[in-house]
Amino acid sequence: MASMNTTSSSAPAADQQDFYGYVPNRDVCITFVVLFSVSAAIHLIEAVYWRMSWLYATACFAGVSEILGWSARLWSSYSPLAEDPYIMQLCVTIIAPSPLVAALFIIFGRISERLGPHYGRLTPIQYSIIFLTCDIISLVTQGVGGGIAGSSINNQSDVDLGGHIMLAGIIFQLTSIIIFVILMMEFFIRYAMDKPVRPPRKGSDLAESSLAVRGVLTRKLQLLILGLLMMTAFLVIRSVYRTIELINGFEGEIIRTEIWFNIFDGAMVVCATYTLNVLHPGWLLESVYAETPQVLLEDMSPKNSLVPLNFAQDNAVSEAW
């Protein structure tokens, strides 16, 4: 096992591997640093080009965090006895995907706004506020736990305490994601069956009238929903893995087996972040209006006449997000 996890010519002694239970594979670490660097750079370009400032604090920040975490693991491959890189990767890799999870909530909020907020249990802004708050709580909890565990390597009781706090944070995040998935799937089912949760809002002005529309599921929106579901699946798999890993503790077989971390943490987050790169809301969401220039709304006057709604005029609402 040592020869598989070490790229140096001579394997370190067993006591040199006590932090991880192995020495991080140098080639794997370099690969993930490069992959996350490329993705983060693309996200930055996309955020600037599409003028989506919320991507700086979500996708871009997640990418930079992953770069730091995997750089620390790369450092450990050269200095397996050093505590600093171990502490750094322990704290950073546990919280790095959280901003990416936040992007899921924002994207779904915008999708629900387009297809019809009245099909959802919550309003678009409520989805963002509630689940972003949960994500922040999870991020802080995991960060605190990682800090306690990493800074108390020689004190087993503190290490266990930090591990339990990290576990609580990741379980809380997993629970919030599962609840989000349930609400999201309910929304899509209700939209498909045209059974809103509540009556659509009725108003005389264009902004209020748009809330009464059963939005058109364009090809671009279908691709964006596909991307949203793929990202959610990748991040759920990662959260399940980290939960099982921490339940077993820092001396458990799972956390001390490198291949599982590479596949179920690193690879899952890579898949999620590149999915967002390709199926990006910039060209899938902001351009959707060009495909649906007009939608007929039922006027609430006694004559039941129909009035047109030009979705291009609603771009100001989109930018408010």
Please report, to the nearest 10 degrees, the dihedral formed by the alpha carbons of residues 228, 105, 183, 316 taken in order. -90
Task: Classify residue 72 as left (phi > 0), alpha (psi -120 to 50) or beta.
Answer: alpha
Residue 239: the pLDDT is: 96
What is the per-residue pLDDT for 297? 35
Distance CA 255, CA 190 (A): 41
| Chain-centroid distance, C-alpha 40 | 14
Per-residue pLDDT of the chain (321 residues; tens, 9 = 90+): 333 343 333 344 444 457 899 999 999 999 999 999 999 999 999 999 999 999 999 999 999 999 999 999 999 999 988 999 999 999 999 999 999 999 999 999 999 999 999 999 999 899 989 999 999 999 999 999 998 987 777 777 888 899 999 999 999 999 999 999 999 999 999 999 999 998 776 554 444 444 556 889 999 999 999 999 999 999 999 999 999 999 988 889 999 999 999 999 999 999 999 999 999 999 998 654 444 443 333 333 334 333 333 333 344 334 433
- The angle subtended at Cα 204 by Cα 201 and Cα 205, nearest 5°, is 95
Contact 167/145 with Cβ under 8 angstroms? yes
Task: Name the residue among 179, 90, 72 with its Cα closest to residue 135.
Answer: 179
Query: For residue 314, what pLDDT is reported?
Result: 41
Residue 298, strand partner residues: 306
Q: Answer yes or no: are the C-beta atoms of 270 and 93 closer than 8 Å.
A: no
pLDDT at 277: 98
Residue 308's DSSP bridge partners are: 296
The model's pTM: 0.82
pLDDT for residue 287 = 54
pLDDT at res. 7: 38
Please state the domain extents for the chain.
26-198+224-292
State the first-to-last Cα distance of the chain, in angstroms, to the nearest integer: 50
pLDDT at 309: 37
The CATH code belonging to domain 26-198+224-292 is 1.20.1070
Give residue 86's pLDDT: 93
Please say whether the beta carbons of 168 and 202 come within 8 A.
Answer: no
